[in-house]
Structure formats: structure tokens, C-alpha cells
């Protein structure tokens, strides 16, 4: 038997070898279960908060300073820290916890939020608040009037927004109910209209109740979306089944959270509020044989969904999905072969519950190569008597996907990387409408504005908006960038050529007026106003012929802006939705376009408020905020479950490369074909 001193040496050597063999964490890696557990231990052990219990509402990575991430010194590992928002004693506490050594985590700072607004709901308090309605005598009487029992209904929490009350210290929420009996999974189609409860979330008591009017409960028949209920028989269009064949295997490689594919390398992270986070996206310039950075950090910062019904049960339906419910918390497990194709790889995510314990979400991010039959570039050349020359290159892209289900709506959030150097983001909406019960069964009965569309008997699909705002910290070939607006301007031809020669009969043309934004006030654009190219350039980097290297922002539909009046309370909270484009100076703390505390926020801490600082944005580290906006006028095809609609935008190279970066890609060979028989006698 070895003496204790020798055993100690063996243990030390083994520990050192294990540390050397383990992959070093990337400084932007999301918090691991071990780190989340260490954060919880540090907060609960801290003497800075005497009140108990402590409820955890947000725990996320406190990102290292950007300069340290981009220029690490001597290969050293950067400190790991977490940012925590927890509730205790009726206050919102903020902690920064050092977890570099997870066996000895340390609270390095503590503060108390003193302004308006509250952190995200926890899942646990939403469930508890929904259950308060059980056996609540006034609700029991309301149900009796409608011929229903407690067992027939289920209730859920709805954020109540902010409507002018100042210094409201209580965390309040509305609770509304749906009929869950009747054999359909689509309870959203059967609202208990006219009934609203008001709940104190921390005392978990009902503090208000209103039964304003009795409406017919929509019938369950024809509302279910489950395959076993909707069919058989299945008599809709049936395309022939297909498969993705990659005989040489996947073309991408995932190393921890780093994804490498074709001419792209980037980091995929996860946050309980934002969901997917894309960082350090760089594209390889094959002509120069250089990796060139495009995007430092990008994520969905907020999804604002205001409904257009001002009546008592609906006026407060003005949701901030990320800031109130959390997109990462709402991410759902992806279904192979349906949400993602057969050639996809999957990644998990971790967040905390109200007690601070890690929760694992399996397979919530998928990565796959998309073969959609698209063309990267092509040309057929015909010159005189020679045979036509045709050159075509197929386009294959890489997709990073997450699906979040916030209540009734499902959002498919894609980041698509293209070999031409583009990054395209697509948000696709499906799921269930928010529906209002009515006594109307036919549009001939309607005389007033019903604030929606009669999509079925006794069922109104309420008008609403979707505003999905992205935070995009662009680093185009470096972190000193500028924003240029190239406006297309019509001109009258004077008939006298500027370069000499004879006049021509041409009477008009258009040219470009180029304006470099100096300050944040000049970095705000409603892209529906005038046609323009919106460019993000690096003034210090030029091509061989002298053009500034850059990327172009290309909207792809869904460019709606808010139509609410500026003095309306929901619009004050989401004042940034009047314009699709905002460009701000980089600030590490400016992450959430709706503010750090979005629940019951007042608009004093949001993107529009930050921009009033009017900081310099020319030749600076700048951030693009882009909002995909849709006005949704429901129709009968959206019932009982809506087909997907999408909005998108693309960041595309603009004088970034010396020429088409795909000019040297190899022509395609013969693609394998797969003929598969199903069933058969063998």
C-alpha cells in the first residue's frame, strides 16, 4: 500500500492530466449544469440576502469583455461569471457570481433593482397561479351559469402589461380560462370569454375577479389538430416521400459549441431568455486565404405581440414573449424527420428552475445541411454558331434551428449560412390563433367592429401584430464599422452627357445618394419610406479597386411597423417598433430591446430610450437591431391550426470579396438517387 504522500502526488498528477486532456471551454459557452449548480450554491449561501425563499428568474452567462474574447492573452482561460436575477423579500436582486472554480463559487457583487418592471415569470409560479382558480367560489358560480364544472376548465397566466400606474410594487398577472373538456386538445379554441382573474404572483392569492358577460362556448367539434382526431381518412394532398442522401456523411463538424462547415465557422450558444445565440461567425476568403469576421454575437432580443381588441378581457394582451416568458425556457424538443430532416445533428440546452436547479432541454437546437434545389450561380452563354455553354452551381446551405412555443404560438427560428458569405435569418409562425368567443355564428349578424375575423361559429380570430427584434453585433472585418444609407434618387436627363459625346433621347434615370450615419439618431430607418441599400462597412478596409468592404441588409418581406399611437401604453413599452432598423453604439449591457425587466415595464429602459443618448456610430463598434414585423389578419385557413407564414432578412456581402467567392467551386458530379420501397414482401 502506498503512503499518503505518494497517493497525494498520484492524485495531483492524475488531476493535471485530466485537465490537460479535457477541452478548454470557449469563453462564450453557455453555462453548464455544473456551473448552474455552483451559481445556486453561491447565491443561497450568500449573506447579502436575508429574506427567504429565493426564487430564481434568470441565470445566464455574464459575457467576458469583448476585447478579451477577441484578443486572449497567452492562451489563458478567461474568468467565468454568471449573471443572476432572483426575487426575495418582494425585491429583484441582481448577482454576479464567479464560477471559474465551480467547487468554490463566489458572489462578487449584489444589487437591487429599483426601477419599474419585473423579471421573467417562472414556470412554477405560472402553474401555481393557474391552479388558484380551482374551487374559487366566484369562478364556480360563473361556471354554473355556463353549465360547466371546475373539472371542465383549465386556467393560465397572461402578462398584464403596463397602463400608467406608477410605483406599482406588486407582481400581478391576469389569469384567464379555457374549456379543456370535450375531447379536443385545442383548448385555445374554446375560451371562457368574459371571465378574468387578477393574481398576486408572490403571495399567490386572487386579488381581483370579473365576470363581465356570458358568451357561447365554441364547440369542440372540428378544432382538434392531432392526427388521430383529424383523420383518418386523410384526404389532403400527399407529396411523394423523400429522403436526404449524404453518401460521404455530414458536411459539417461540431466541436463542443463550435460549428465548422464549408467556408463558415461560428459558435452556437443557448440562453434561457434569448434561446439560440450565434457568436464569432467568420467566413473564409479563399482568394486571400483568410478567416474574416462578420458577426460577433446575434440573437432574438424580443418578440412583441400586441392584440387589437380594446375590450376588458383583451386590452392587456400585449405580450413580450422573450422578456416575460423566455424563448429558451419555451424551446421545445425537436421532432426528427419533421422539425428537422434526417441529416440533422442535435444540441441540448440547460436553464434553471425557480429553485435554481438545472433543467435539461434535450434536442432543442438542430443543425443540418439544406438541399433545396436552389442555384448558387448559373449562366448559359450563346455566341454565334458554337454550342451553348452552360455552367451551374447548386446551392447548399447550413441551417441552425430552434422552435419555441410561447402559449398558443410556435416560432421556428432559423439561422441560415450560405457559401456566398450570407447569413439569412428566417422566423416562421405557426400554432394556434388567440381566439375570442362570440355569440355570432355568421358574418351577416355582425354590425360592429369585432376586432378580428369570424373563423368559425362563435369564434373570432383577433387581429394582432408580431414584431421579432434581432440583436446583431456586427464586426465586418473588424469591430470598427459604419452605417451607410444608399438612397435611390430619380434624376431628369438634361440631354448633355457628362463624359462628352452626342445627346441621347433618354429622359430619366436614377442614381445613388450615399449618406454615412454619424450618430444614433441618423441610424434609425423605416425601410418602407424610400428605396435604399442599407450597408455596414469597414471604412479602413478596401478592395483592390478602392471600394469599402461591407455587408448589405436585405429585408425579405414582413416589414410592417406598429400602427399604435405613440401615447398608447403598449407602444410606449415597445416604442422601437415604429422603425425596422436601429443602429447603436456597442454597449455590453444593451442586450434586451425591451429592457432588462420587461414584465410590466414602462418603456424607460428600451432600445428607443438608449438611442436618445445619440452616441457616435461612425467608425465605431456598432450594433444593428432589426425587426421583422407582420400584421396578422386571421382567416379561416388559420383555423384550427395555422399554416406557417414567414418573414426574413439577409446579411449579404457587399464588396466584401474581390469577386464572386463561389467562382472556383467544383461543378457537381452525379448525385446519388435513392429509390425506397415501403412495405413489400421481402
d(Cα 88, Cα 418) in Å, to the nearest integer? 47
CA angle 42–48–50, rounded 5-degree value: 105
Of 215, 296, 325, 409, the active-site residue reads 409
Looking at residue 356, the DSSP 8-state letter turns out to be: S
Q: How far are the Cα atoms of 48, 126, 314, 402, 453 from residue 460, in angstroms, in the given order? A: 51, 26, 12, 30, 5
Contact 615, 519 (CB under 8 A): yes
Round to whole Å and give the CA distance between 663 and 286.
10
Taking CA 298 as the corner, what is the angle to CA 541 and CA 26, rounded to the nearest 5 degrees?
Answer: 90
Taking the CA atoms of residue 161, residue 167, residue 171 and residue 176 in that order, the dihedral angle to the nearest 10 degrees is -40
**Cα radius of gyration rounded to whole Å, the chain:** 28
Is 605 part of the annotated catalytic residue set?
A: no
Q: Which of 271, 309, 321, 414 is catalytic?
A: 321
The span from the CA of 598 to the CA of 609, in Å, is 14
Q: How far apart are CA 185 and CA 516, in angstroms?
A: 54
Residue 321 is a catalytic residue? yes
Strands (E), 159-274: 172-179, 195-200, 205-211, 252-255, 258-261, 264-271
Smallest CA-to-CA distance from 91 within 146, 22, 169 is with 169
Alpha-carbon span 330 to 361, nearest angstrom: 10
Length of the chain: 682
Instruction: Find the Cα–Cα–Cα–Cα dihedral 132, 135, 138, 141, rounded to 10°.
Output: 140
Residues 578 and 580: their CA atoms lie apart, in Å, by: 7
269 — alpha (psi -120 to 50), left (phi > 0) or beta?
Answer: beta
Catalytic site positions: 321, 409
Amino acid at each position: 500500500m502506498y503512503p499518503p504522500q505518494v497517493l497525494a502526488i498520484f492524485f495531483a498528477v492524475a488531476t493535471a492530466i485530466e485537465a490537460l486532456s479535457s477541452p478548454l471551454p470557449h469563453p462564450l459557452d453557455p453555462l453548464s449544469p455544473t456551473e448552474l449548480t455552483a451559481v445556486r450554491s453561491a447565491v443561497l449561501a450568500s449573506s447579502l440576502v436575508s429574506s427567504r425563499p429565493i426564487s430564481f428568474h434568470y441565470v445566464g452567462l455574464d459575457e467576458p469583455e469583448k476585447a478579451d474574447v477577441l484578443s486572449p492573452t497567452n492562451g489563458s482561460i478567461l474568468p467565468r461569471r454568471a449573471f443572476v436575477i432572483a426575487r426575495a423579500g418582494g425585491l429583484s436582486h441582481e448577482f454576479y457570481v464567479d464560477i471559474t472554480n465551480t467547487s468554490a463559487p463566489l458572489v462578487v457583487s449584489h444589487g437591487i433593482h429599483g426601477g419599474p418592471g419585473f423579471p421573467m415569470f417562472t414556470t412554477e409560479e405560472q402553474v401555481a397561479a393557474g391552479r388558484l382558480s380551482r374551487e374559487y367560489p366566484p369562478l364556480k358560480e360563473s361556471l354554473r351559469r355556463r353549465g360547466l364544472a371546475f373539472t371542465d376548465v383549465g386556467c393560465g397566466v397572461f402578462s398584464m402589461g403596463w397602463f400608467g400606474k406608477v410605483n406599482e410594487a406588486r407582481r400581478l398577472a391576469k389569469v384567464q380560462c379555457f374549456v379543456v373538456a370535450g375531447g379536443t386538445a385545442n383548448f385555445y379554441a374554446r375560451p371562457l370569454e368574459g371571465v378574468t382573474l387578477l393574481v398576486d404572483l408572490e403571495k399567490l392569492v386572487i386579488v381581483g375577479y370579473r365576470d363581465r358577460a356570458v358568451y357561447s362556448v365554441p364547440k369542440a367539434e372540428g378544432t382538434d389538430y392531432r392526427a388521430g382526431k383529424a383523420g383518418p381518412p386523410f384526404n389532403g394532398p400527399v407529396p411523394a416521400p423523400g429522403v436526404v442522401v449524404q453518401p460521404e456523411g455530414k458536411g459539417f463538424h461540431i466541436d463542443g459549441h463550435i460549428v465548422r462547415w464549408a467556408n463558415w465557422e461560428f459558435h452556437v450558444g443557448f440562453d434561457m431568455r434569448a434561446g439560440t445565440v450565434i457568436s464569432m461567425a467568420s467566413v473564409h476568403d479563399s482568394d486571400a486565404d483568410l478567416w474574416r469576421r462578420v458577426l460577433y454575437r446575434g440573437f432574438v432580443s424580443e418578440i412583441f405581440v400586441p392584440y387589437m381588441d380594446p375590450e376588458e378581457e383583451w386590452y392587456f394582451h400585449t405580450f413580450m414573449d422573450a422578456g416575460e416568458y423566455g424563448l429558451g425556457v419555451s424551446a421545445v424538443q425537436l421532432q426528427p424527420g419533421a422539425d428537422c430532416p434526417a441529416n440533422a445533428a442535435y444540441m441540448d440546452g440547460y436553464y434553471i428552475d425557480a429553485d435554481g436547479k438545472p433543467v435539461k432541454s434535450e434536442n432543442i437546437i438542430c443543425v443540418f445541411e439544406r438541399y433545396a434545389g436552389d442555384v448558387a450561380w448559373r449562366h448559359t452563354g450563346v455566341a454565334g454558331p458554337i454550342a451553348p455553354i452552360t455552367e451551374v452551381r447548386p446551392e447548399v446551405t447550413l441551417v441552425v434551428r430552434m422552435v419555441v412555443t410561447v402559449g398558443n404560438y410556435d416560432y421556428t427560428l432559423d439561422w441560415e449560412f450560405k457559401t456566398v458569405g450570407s447569413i439569412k435569418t428566417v422566423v416562421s409562425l405557426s400554432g394556434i390563433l388567440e381566439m375570442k368567443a362570440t355569440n355570432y355564428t355568421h358574418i351577416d349578424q355582425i354590425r360592429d367592429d369585432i376586432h378580428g375575423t369570424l373563423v368559425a361559429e362563435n369564434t373570432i380570430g383577433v387581429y394582432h401584430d408580431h414584431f421579432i427584434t434581432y440583436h446583431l453585433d456586427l464586426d465586418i472585418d473588424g469591430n470598427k464599422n459604419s452605417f451607410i444609407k444608399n438612397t435611390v434618387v430619380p434624376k431628369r436627363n438634361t440631354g448633355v452627357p457628362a463624359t462628352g459625346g452626342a445627346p441621347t433621347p433618354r429622359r430619366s434615370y436614377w442614381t445613388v445618394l450615399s449618406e454615412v450615419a454619424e450618430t444614433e439618431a441618423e441610424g434609425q430607418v423605416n425601410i418602407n419610406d424610400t428605396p435604399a441599400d442599407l450597408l455596414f462597412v469597414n471604412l479602413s478596409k478596401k478592395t483592390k479597386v478602392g471600394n469599402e468592404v461591407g455587408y448589405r441588409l436585405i429585408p425579405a418581406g414582413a416589414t410592417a411597423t406598429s400602427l399604435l399611437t405613440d401615447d398608447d401604453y403598449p407602444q410606449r413599452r415597445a416604442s422601437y417598433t415604429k422603425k425596422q432598423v436601429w443602429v447603436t453604439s456597442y454597449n455590453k449591457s444593451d442586450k434586451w430591446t425591451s429592457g432588462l425587466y420587461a414584465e410590466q415595464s414602462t418603456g424607460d429602459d428600451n432600445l428607443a430610450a438608449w438611442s436618445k443618448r445619440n452616441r457616435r456610430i461612425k467608425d465605431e463598434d456598432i450594433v444593428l437591431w432589426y425587426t421583422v414585423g407582420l400584421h396578422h389578419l386571421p382567416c379561416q385557413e388559420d383555423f384550427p391550426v395555422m399554416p406557417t407564414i414567414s418573414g426574413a432578412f439577409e446579411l449579404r456581402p457587399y464588396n466584401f470579396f474581390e469577386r464572386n467567392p463561389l467562382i472556383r467551386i467544383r461543378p457537381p458530379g452525379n448525385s446519388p438517387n435513392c429509390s425506397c420501397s415501403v412495405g413489400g414482401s421481402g
